[in-house]
Structure 1
Amino acid sequence: MAENRQSLEGLENIGALVEQYRNGLDPYTIEQLRYKANDDQWSLGQMYNHLIQSAMFMQIGAIAKCAEAESTDTAEGKSEDGQRIFQMGSFPPIKIKVPDSPQYTPSQPESKEQLAEGLEKVWEQAQSWVAKLHEIPGNRKVKHPKLGYLNALEWFQLIEMHLRHHLRQQATLEQEL
């Protein structure tokens, strides 16, 4: 029951964050969303695409793999970084640099509508998975490159932590507009 309550609280938080990001699109033109103050940082729109792509393909994708038994049945757990992040309930308040490669650099948005639709898909997927999380065995895990082996519930929690982590970046990028 504690896992169900935790999942529902996580879903509420995801919903609030998705709504906050969706509302955050309103004041900007597509040109502003594509603006980059320098070559070493993402635009606000790229950050949005990163959030959407990470949630849909990494986090929700990993939940699906856990559900479909495409995961590793393992007692292995989180890395030291993973243990620390989950104990804190958030990523540390530092800038995390992803590898400088086209694979990790999100594309510029095509439109505000594309971003809003992407956020809506994240919300829909989170809603569809929350009721199924307690049915997925906790020893079915998918390895995160930095955090170690995570089960479906932990991947679900990571959606909210990742969305929350990027609020600081959003504020910084908005100040530069």
Structure 2
Amino acid sequence: MMSDLKLIATYKSFLQNYSNEQLKFIPQQGVWSLGQMYDHLIVVAHEYLDSVEDCEKAVEEQHQGKSEFGEYLFNIGGFPPIKIKLPEELDAPPDNTKSKEAILLELDQLMNRMKDLEMKVEDINPNCRMKHGGFGWLNAQEWLYLVGMHFRHHLRQKYELDQKLALCSNIG
């Protein structure tokens, strides 16, 4: 898990290289800005961590497991290198108004929450699971692991956005 915290720290260091204008730059319709990508990562990470806490509070064991896709994801240790399109109702564009400082603060808060949960996660009953819409029933350890998987998945998107920014280098 510590490597997931290092990964988020790496995202924080990447952030130092952008101006607020660059963070908000949307390269083309239907493509997120870097700021939106960061917002998405933070929002989703907190949703996953909420599920860790729900597993911790759960009293009833859940004996259903992961979906076929969930098993596949955890077996390969990450998301496949594809763009995943969410259903329309879950696909609202992320916030594109935050400053670099606000995003840095949110990443710090996220890392602190992860550290707190990492210390507890081994003591949470692995048979207490919460359902993920696509991956099936996950326990606290799996929800926590999903945070890092999701951050790793978006490194490719970050690289693509960096390429687009470089092409429009007059921004910021």
Q: Do both share a fold (TM > 0.5)?
A: yes
* Cα distance in 1 between the residues matched to 2:71 and 2:41: 22
Task: Give % identity.
Answer: 38
* Cα distance in 1 between the residues matched to 2:98 and 2:156: 24
Range moving further from structure 2, 158-167 or 94-103: 94-103
**Any idea what the Cα deviations from partners look like across 1:97-122, whole Å, max 9, x if unmatched?**
12345763211132101110111111
Unpaired runs of 5+ residues, structure 1, are 1-9
Q: Does 1:65 align with 2:65?
A: no
Q: Which residue of 1 aligns with 2:10?
A: 20
The alignment partner of 2:53 has SS state of helix
* Aligned CA distance change for structure 1 residues 127 and 152 (closer, same or farther; 3 Å): same
Q: Which residue of 2 aligns with 1:168?
A: 156
Count of aligned pairs between the two proteins = 165
* Cα distance in 2 between the residues matched to 1:126 and 1:16: 12
**Equivalent position amino acid for 1:137 in 2:** N
Match of 1:148 among 136, 139, 147: 136
Q: Which residue of 1 aligns with 2:71?
A: 83
1:41, CA displacement in angstroms?
1.1
* Cα distance in 1 between the residues matched to 2:80 and 2:90: 25
Q: Does 1:41 align with 2:31?
A: yes
Unpaired runs of 5+ residues, structure 2, are 166-172
TM-score (norm 1): 0.89
Contact 1:98 1:104 in 2 (8 A): no
**Equivalent position amino acid for 1:118 in 2:** E
* Cα distance in 1 between the residues matched to 2:87 and 2:11: 25
TM-score (norm 2): 0.91
Contact 1:109 1:115 in 2 (8 A): no
Over 6 Å off, 4+ runs: none
RMSD, aligned α-carbons: 1.4
* Cα distance in 2 between the residues matched to 1:102 and 1:165: 18
* Cα distance in 2 between the residues matched to 1:122 and 1:109: 19
